[in-house]
Amino acid sequence: MKGTREAVALPRATQLLNHGPVTIITSAHDGRSNVMAASWAMPLDFNPPKVVVVVDSRTLTRQLIDASGVFGLQLPSRGFAAQTLAVGSNAGAGLDKFAAFDLETFPAQNIDVPMLAGCITWMECKVIPDDSQRHDLIIGEVVAAYADSRVYSNNRWHFGDDPDLRTCHYVAGGTFFATGDAFEVAPVASGAMG
């Protein structure tokens, strides 16, 4: 069964990244589009929502983002880990990774960048240009966010029994962790630690 993409309220959008999952960045400019894996991605602000991604200046992705000022930031599921590794292990210069790895896309709502159908959350981002780019940091304002309702709705994650429908965390060399089960705690009482 396929999920439906449901809007995530923008002030809650950065919650999609709080647990530190690996991401996939899509980019496009002047008729050329591309896709790469990025594990260095994090929230920066709530409202308006901002994110930071580290994109090596030698990548095609960086060239396209610098030229267009926009990018797509999506979360792959465990079932999409092999494709994530593929788009992170092959440079897009000289290779159409969408065709090579049979990646289905759909049009974004607010930016001119293809979004990846195989992912489970999506953010459309506009670059906030600033000096941080010399450290390969790209700051993006999230202008649209949506999530697969099978795993995220009403501002919360609810991973179920399907092991393929979990977000992933990248280690190195093709090794990932899948996101585990949620648990809730109350804070320890003040003074309880002696």
Q: What is the C-alpha R_g of the chain?
A: 17
Q: Which of 59, 74, 167, 179 binds ligand FMN (CB under 6 A)?
A: 59
As measured in angstroms, the least distance from the Cβ of 28 to ligand FMN is 12
Site for ligand FMN contains 36 (CB under 6 A)? yes
Site for ligand FMN contains 37 (CB under 6 A)? yes
By rule CB under 6 A, what count of residues binds ligand FMN? Answer: 21
Residues 6+ away with beta carbon under 8 Å from 35: 24, 25, 26, 27, 61, 87, 92, 97, 98, 103, 114, 116
Plot region of 16 (φ>0 → left; ψ -120 to 50 → alpha; else → beta): alpha
Nearer to ligand FMN, 6 or 56 (CB): 56
- CA distance linking residue 43 with residue 17, whole number of Å: 6
Site for ligand FMN contains 92 (CB under 6 A)? yes
Nearest to 23 by CA among 44, 42, 5, 39: 39
Site for ligand FMN contains 21 (CB under 6 A)? no
Ranges within 139-178 binding ligand FMN (CB under 6 A): 170
Q: Which of 50, 90, 118, 149 binds ligand FMN (CB under 6 A)?
A: 90
b/e map 11-33, b = 16+ CB within 10 Å: eebbbbbeeebbbbbbbbbeeeb
Report the residue closest to ligand FMN, judged by CB.
88
Q: Which of 8, 28, 38, 138 binds ligand FMN (CB under 6 A)?
A: 38
Residues that bind ligand FMN (CB under 6 A): 22, 34, 36-40, 54-56, 59-61, 84-85, 88-92, 170
